[in-house]
């Protein structure tokens, strides 16, 4: 199987696992797609629980100590935007967030902060998503983001529409941060993934919607302090009525996870996966091509060394 087809097969397998439990699960084998060298650029894991998939993926990427150094202040930035329980897939899976926090401390982090600029009431979002409890249980500090005083203006060099933005101080003050979005349908941007998760670190989200949303999402990723790692949670995927969702009928238990330092590549992989759950051509997710044009990352997965894993 060549690199061009692997994500499609992985995606079909992941959907089959939870929707039909078909023999397509047998297609996947643990193997590596390489263009030479041993560095893994992107990991796709299917079939496990959130914690186990992350542990396997981070090991393939070289371990958390590659990204978090002793004594560093770390931010883990999930999607906590909605007052929804985990089963509705409106937010990042709390088990995944807790595991990432634990791994940061195991790598020697001095402190770990978790936050998001929520859309619904922040206290209800933090509580009902399960993320506040999971983060605190793992030792993290959970920080609010509902006041403008938490934000400071920072430049977005090279942005086409957005030249600067007010960024949450947790991002500006940390040594490294890890971007942990949930994969889901979105009525405006079509998909929520790593790039769009940046909207949760800024104060004025209205600017995005009042201008070119797809370009502004790409522009936000020009922030000089980039995430050291992007982890797309595709354990439960909201396939319709996003970003808020209505009921469990909007959700597919897909049991997937994608990880890369390349934010455009990881979102391209996740979007290809989503396209097997519900038709969503890449050209309808304009911030991917916009991000590639800004040289934030690549949509050409054939240029990458990719590890695919079935658990």
pLDDT at 25 > cutoff 50: no
| Euclidean distance between CA atoms 190 and 184, whole angstroms | 8
Per-residue pLDDT tens digits for 97-111: 999 999 999 999 999
277-305: average pLDDT: 96
Structure tokens at 198: 């940046």
- Pairing state between β 229-238 and 251-260: antiparallel
- CATH number (2.60.40, 3.40.50, 1.10.3710, 3.30.70) of 62-232+244-249+259-306 reads 3.40.50
Average pLDDT, the chain: 90
Write down the pLDDT at residue 116: 98
Other C-beta atoms closer than 10 Å to the C-beta of 146 total 14
Give the span between the Cα atoms of 131 and 65, in whole angstroms. Answer: 23
The pLDDT-based confidence of 20 (bands split at 50, 70, 90) is very low
DSSP assignment of 198-257: GGGGBS-THHHHHS-HHHHHHHHTT-SS--SEEEEEEEEEE-SSTTT--SGGGEEEEEEE
Q: Is the pLDDT of residue 14 over 70?
A: no
Burial-class residue 30 by CB neighbours within 10 Å (0-12, 13-18, 19+): exposed
**What ranges do the domains of the chain cover?**
62-232+244-249+259-306
pLDDT value, residue 35? 44
> pLDDT band for position 170 (50/70/90)?
very high
3-state helix, strand, coil in the chain (%, to 5): 40, 20, 40
Structure token pair of residue 15: 């959907």
DSSP one-letter code for 23: G
Two structure tokens written together for 139: 């030792």
Mean pLDDT score, 216-230: 97
Opening angle at CA 68, ends 64 and 74, nearest 5: 120
Share of the chain above pLDDT 70, in %: 88
Apex CA 110: angle with CA 96 and CA 167, to 5°?
Answer: 70
**pLDDT tier at 38, thresholds 50, 70, 90:** confident
Tell me 140's DSSP state.
Answer: P
Q: Is the pLDDT of residue 240 over 80?
A: yes
Q: How far apart are CA 142 and CA 57, in angstroms?
A: 25
pLDDT classification of 13: cutoffs 50, 70, 90 = very low
> 25: burial class by Cβ within 10 Å (0-12, 13-18, 19+)?
middle
For the segment 51-72, the average pLDDT, to the nearest whole number, is 98
Interatomic CA distance for residues 43 and 219, integer angstroms: 25
Q: Which two tokens stand for residue 205?
A: 């989200």
Residue 26 in this model has a pLDDT that exceeds 60:
no
pLDDT of 138 reads: 98
239: pLDDT strictly greater than 60: yes
Residue 189 pLDDT > 60: yes
pLDDT score of 37: 52
């Amino acid at each position: 199987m060549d690199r061009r087809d692997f994500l499609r097969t992985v995606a079909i397998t992941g959907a089959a696992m939870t929707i039909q439990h078909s023999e397509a699960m047998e297609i996947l084998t643990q193997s590596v797609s390489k263009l030479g060298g041993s560095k893994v650029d992107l990991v796709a894991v299917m079939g496990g629980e959130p914690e186990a998939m992350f542990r396997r993926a981070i090991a393939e990427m070289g371990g958390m100590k590659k990204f978090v150094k002793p004594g560093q202040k770390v931010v883990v930035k999930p999607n906590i935007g909605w007052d929804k329980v985990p089963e509705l897939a409106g937010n990042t899976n709390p088990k995944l967030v807790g595991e990432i926090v634990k791994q940061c401390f195991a790598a020697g982090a001095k402190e770990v902060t978790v936050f998001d600029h929520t859309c619904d009431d922040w206290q209800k979002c933090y509580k009902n998503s399960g993320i506040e409890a999971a983060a605190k249980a793992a030792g993290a500090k959970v920080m609010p983001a509902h006041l403008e005083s938490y934000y400071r203006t920072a430049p977005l060099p090279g942005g086409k529409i957005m030249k600067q933005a007010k960024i949450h101080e947790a991002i500006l003050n940390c040594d490294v941060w890890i971007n942990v979005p949930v994969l889901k349908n979105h009525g405006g941007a079509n998909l929520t993934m790593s790039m769009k998760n940046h909207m949760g670190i800024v104060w004025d989200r209205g600017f995005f919607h009042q201008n070119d949303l797809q370009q502004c999402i790409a522009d936000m990723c020009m922030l000089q302090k980039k995430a050291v790692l992007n982890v797309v949670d595709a354990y439960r995927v909201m396939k319709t009525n996003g970003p808020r969702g209505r009921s469990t009928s909007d959700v597919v238990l897909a049991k997937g996870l994608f990880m890369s330092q390349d934010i455009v590549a990881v979102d391209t992989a996740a979007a290809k996966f989503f396209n097997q759950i519900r038709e969503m051509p890449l050209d309808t997710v304009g911030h991917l091509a916009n991000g590639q044009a800004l040289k934030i990352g690549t949509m050409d997965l054939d240029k990458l060394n990719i590890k695919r894993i079935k658990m």
